[in-house]
């Protein structure tokens, strides 16, 4: 393919997060700390990973950030909206992810990130009570106000470009409705205050209308809607989602391709979690948990292909539970019991006990998405960015074949996309390549 002409990453990139809670404040704090040489951006592909170019014998293996024209950490400016958090410092303290010594060293900069008043509706997140909320009841007015916020933020902070990543709470479960079918029906829904239009959709609409790439880090129905995809195409804006791939699902997408590669059977996969952060509190409401459950359950089927391997994976019980348990805070514990079987059907079990920190795993994903979505926009591609499936539990797909869930195939796809954009050959890992 002829490599595209990628516009240079000049000037400042504003990163806007609807939702300045645990994930967003950990992301912002980590970037500021990295800028000051206080911490390493561990977990970020854009900052730490190398990419092989050409044959193995060529010895070309630059860092991704030196190979593709990405915005630098020093060029990032942070902003967002939140109905509760007064600034990123308070958000970080409430979240309790980072220790005092880490946030006090950068307290001035964190206090300077003051979220704008949110478009928020408690019906979608029943466990939260927002106070820093726009006093506009009409959804069309809310969308217009967000578009104004985006424009003002860009001007006041002298940004060259913006990138938006939804880091807000998981909204209640919903199926697409008539309002979501076309841009016309969605805009009519905004004017008529259609109950089916959620706040996250209003943010996505405002972003796309403003030409700002939008990635959804939560499992709610947001850009994965015909109206949003139509608008993204019309306005030539890249979109991606959904639900950051962290914690237990990350483990699932690491392990299940390995079991399948060795043609070992799986009879059951029981996953349970305890967590005590605000996310856990929101997910304690059944209608919000349902949104998460659907996103988490899709993973195994797509990787294991029970239709192709009915004897190995056709009779698999997959159960996912999340329990809100305040003493744990952000330090989630996820248990997996996996019932597998091998030669002559003999059963075996694998147990995983992952004592993880959700926001520590999610923060580098926010950074990478903000940078790569900006790269996509400068490359001139639009609509669903399949090549960023690597980062999501329930990746959107632009093709009828659906998304790829296997982390290693996703990684290859991401790196090959970058190679192609930069005029290099894809790496096939065959004997010849």
Ligand X SMILES: NC(=O)c1ccc[n+]([C@@H]2O[C@H](COP(=O)([O-])OP(=O)(O)OC[C@H]3O[C@@H](n4cnc5c(N)ncnc54)[C@H](O)[C@@H]3O)[C@@H](O)[C@H]2O)c1
Which spans of this chain sit near ligand X (rule: CB under 6 A)? 18-23, 81-85, 95, 118-120, 125, 128, 167-170, 199, 217-218, 243-244, 246-247, 277-279, 282, 358-359, 361-362
**Could you tell me which of 5, 61, 72 has the C-alpha nearest to residue 370?**
72
Write down the least CB distance from residue 128 to ligand X, Å. 6
Residue 287, classed as helix, strand or coil, is: helix
Q: Do residues 239 and 396 touch, judged by C-beta distance below 8 A?
A: yes
* Calpha distance 13→188 (Å, rounded): 32
Nearer to ligand X, 200 or 379 (CB): 200
* Calpha distance 97→110 (Å, rounded): 14
Q: What is the CA radius of gyration of the chain?
A: 21
Instruction: Report DSSP letters for 97-122, one per residue.
Output: -S-HHHHHTTHHHHHT--PBPB---G
Write down the least CB distance from residue 190 to ligand X, Å. 15
Nearer to ligand X, 16 or 312 (CB): 16
Write down the least CB distance from residue 279 to ligand X, Å. 4
Write down the least CB distance from residue 264 to ligand X, Å. 28
Long-range contacts of residues 154-159, Cβ cutoff 8 Å, at least 24 apart: 154/14, 157/12, 157/14, 157/77, 157/79, 158/11, 158/12, 159/11, 159/12, 159/13, 159/14, 159/77
Burial of 376 (0-12, 13-18, 19+ CB in 10 A): buried
Write down the least CB distance from residue 331 to ligand X, Å. 12
Write down the least CB distance from residue 291 to ligand X, Å. 9
Measured from the Cβ of residue 323, the count of other Cβ atoms closer than 10 Å reads: 15
DSSP structure class, residue 75: G
Q: By Cβ distance, which residue is nearest to ligand X?
A: 21
Residue 283 CA: distances (Å) to CA of 147, 287, 412: 29, 8, 33
The angle at the Cα of 26, spanning 22 to 31, to the nearest 5 degrees, equals: 155
Nearer to ligand X, 119 or 212 (CB): 119
Nearer to ligand X, 82 or 424 (CB): 82
Write down the least CB distance from residue 308 to ligand X, Å. 29
Nearer to ligand X, 220 or 256 (CB): 220
Write down the least CB distance from residue 73 to ligand X, Å. 21
Query: What token pair was written down for 428?
Result: 């096939």
Nearer to ligand X, 79 or 265 (CB): 79
Nearer to ligand X, 120 or 214 (CB): 120
Nearer to ligand X, 51 or 118 (CB): 118
Burial of 66 (0-12, 13-18, 19+ CB in 10 A): exposed
């Amino acid at each position: 393919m002829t490599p595209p002409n990628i516009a240079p990453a000049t000037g400042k990139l504003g990163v806007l997060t609807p939702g300045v809670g645990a994930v967003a404040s950990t992301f912002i704090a980590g970037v500021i700390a990295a800028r000051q040489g206080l911490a390493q951006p561990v977990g970020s592909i854009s900052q730490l990973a190398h990419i092989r170019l050409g044959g193995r014998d060529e010895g070309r293996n630059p860092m991704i950030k030196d190979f593709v024209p990405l915005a630098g950490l020093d060029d990032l400016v942070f902003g967002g909206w939140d109905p509760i958090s007064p600034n990123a410092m308070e958000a970080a303290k409430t979240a309790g992810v980072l220790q005092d010594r880490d946030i006090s060293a950068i307290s001035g900069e964190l206090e300077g990130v003051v979220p704008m008043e949110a478009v928020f509706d408690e019906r979608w997140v029943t466990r939260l009570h927002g106070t820093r909320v726009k006093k506009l009841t009409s959804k069309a007015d809310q969308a217009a106000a967000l578009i104004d916020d985006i424009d003002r933020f860009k001007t006041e902070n002298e940004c060259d470009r913006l990138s938006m990543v939804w880091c807000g709470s998981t909204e209640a479960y919903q199926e697409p409705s008539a309002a979501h079918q076309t841009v016309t029906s969605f805009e009519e829904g905004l004017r008529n205050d259609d109950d089916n239009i959620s706040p996250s959709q209003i943010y996505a609409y405002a972003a796309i209308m403003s030409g700002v790439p939008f990635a959804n880090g939560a499992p709610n129905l947001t850009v994965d809607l015909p109206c949003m995809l139509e608008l993204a195409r019309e306005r030539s804006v890249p979109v991606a989602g959904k639900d950051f791939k962290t914690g237990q699902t990350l483990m699932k997408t690491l392990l299940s391709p390995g079991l399948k590669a060795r043609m070992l059977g799986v009879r059951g996969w029981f996953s349970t979690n305890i967590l005590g952060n605000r996310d856990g509190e929101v997910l304690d409401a059944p209608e919000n948990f349902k949104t998460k459950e659907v996103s988490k359950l899709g993973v195994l089927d797509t990787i294991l292909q029970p239709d192709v391997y009915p004897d190995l994976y056709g009779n698999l019980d997959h159960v996912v539970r999340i329990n809100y348990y305040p003493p744990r805070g952000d330090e989630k514990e996820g248990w997996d019991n996996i019932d597998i079987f091998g030669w002559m059907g003999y059963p075996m079990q694998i147990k995983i006990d992952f004592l993880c920190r959700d926001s520590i795993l999610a923060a580098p994903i926010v950074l990478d998405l903000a940078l790569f979505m900006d790269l996509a926009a400068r490359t001139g591609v639009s609509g669903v960015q399949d090549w960023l499936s690597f980062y999501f539990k329930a990746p959107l797909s632009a093709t009828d074949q659906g998304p790829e869930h296997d982390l290693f195939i996703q990684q290859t796809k991401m790196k090959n996309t970058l190679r192609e954009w930069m005029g290099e050959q894809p790496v096939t890992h065959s004997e010849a390549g």
